[in-house]
């Protein structure tokens, strides 16, 4: 009989086992932890998958943690300024369902430096295309990338077939955030980017409306032989037509030919 899933040791991306002296939950030198509330489907849970692979380590609520905690309880956005804290004390995510956040005892998770993630788009199969609905793996990877550890972020996302897509969809934002100085700078750049995208969408909509005005042949603008647009004004032609000479008549009403 083959070994059960629990008897098998998970392999890390480099092919080594996390047993035998290797620290569980160590990704490219960064400690990654997780509070797991078992609210998600185990088959789809990215946090549990990373735990099975030895890339993340679960901990209980009473366990002390001094690193960066990605949590709705945060009052500041994660930023490159948090890189030193993360390098020293690690990173932790909260594995729970977005639909059951009210069940999470956030007040009991006071340890660590709690941070919010800035605007990013999810690509996980459950919430693909939804803003800010990141999975545990996406959240951890985003924090790592923003704090200057893109190598560790890519190691985390390499565990998923859609992992590379996360970096493609959020490429501009991740680059923008990783170049910031602190939390306030991240928020400022986030708001600037959102306004820019909103304006681009409005411009595209306006441009489409202008083209829609000429959907039918009757509405197409008229052009002269030189390629200039002809604008009708009150039903009169703007181009002046040469007046034809009226024929000269003698006193008997006969035309006089010169």
With CA atoms as reference, report the closest residue to 62 among 7, 6, 30, 110: 110
What is the number of other CB atoms lying within 10 angstroms of the CB of residue 11? 13
94 is in an annotated binding site: yes
Calculate the CA 53 to chain-centre distance: 26
**Residue 256 known to bind ligand:** no
**Percent of residues in the chain assigned helix, strand, coil, to nearest 5:** 35, 15, 50
Neighbours of 31 (CB within 10 A): 20
If you count DSSP H runs as helices and E runs as strands, how many of each does the chain have, helices first? Answer: 7, 10
- 46 annotated as a binding-site residue: yes
Distances (CA, A) of 129 to 31, 55, 132, 166, 195: 29, 25, 9, 10, 19
Annotated binding site: 46, 94, 117
Annotated binding site for S-adenosyl-L-methionine: 46, 94, 117
């Amino acid at each position: 009989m083959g070994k059960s899933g629990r008897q098998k040791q998970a392999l890390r991306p480099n092919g080594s086992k996390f047993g035998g002296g290797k620290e569980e939950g160590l990704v490219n030198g960064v400690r990654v932890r997780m509070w797991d509330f078992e609210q998600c489907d185990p088959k789809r849970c990215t946090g549990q998958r990373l735990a099975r692979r030895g890339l993340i380590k679960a901990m209980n609520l009473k366990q002390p943690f001094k690193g960066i905690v990605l949590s709705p309880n945060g009052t500041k956005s994660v930023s490159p300024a948090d890189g030193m804290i993360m390098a020293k004390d690690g990173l932790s995510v909260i594995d729970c369902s977005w639909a059951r956040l009210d069940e999470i005892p956030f007040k009991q998770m006071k340890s660590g430096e709690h941070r919010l993630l800035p605007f990013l788009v999810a690509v996980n199969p459950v919430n693909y295309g939804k803003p800010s609905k990141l999975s545990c793996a996406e959240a951890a990877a985003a924090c790592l990338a923003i704090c200057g550890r893109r190598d560790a972020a890519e190691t985390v996302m390499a565990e998923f077939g859609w992992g590379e897509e996360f970096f493609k969809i959020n490429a501009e934002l991740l680059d923008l955030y990783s170049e910031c100085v602190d939390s306030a700078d991240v928020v400022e750049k986030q708001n600037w980017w959102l306004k820019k995208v909103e304006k681009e969408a409005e411009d595209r909509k306006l441009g489409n409306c202008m083209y829609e005005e000429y959907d039918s042949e009757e509405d197409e603008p008229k052009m002269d032989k030189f390629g200039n647009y002809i604008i009708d004004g009150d039903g009169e032609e703007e181009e002046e037509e040469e007046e034809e000479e009226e024929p000269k008549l003698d006193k008997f009403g006969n035309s006089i030919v010169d």
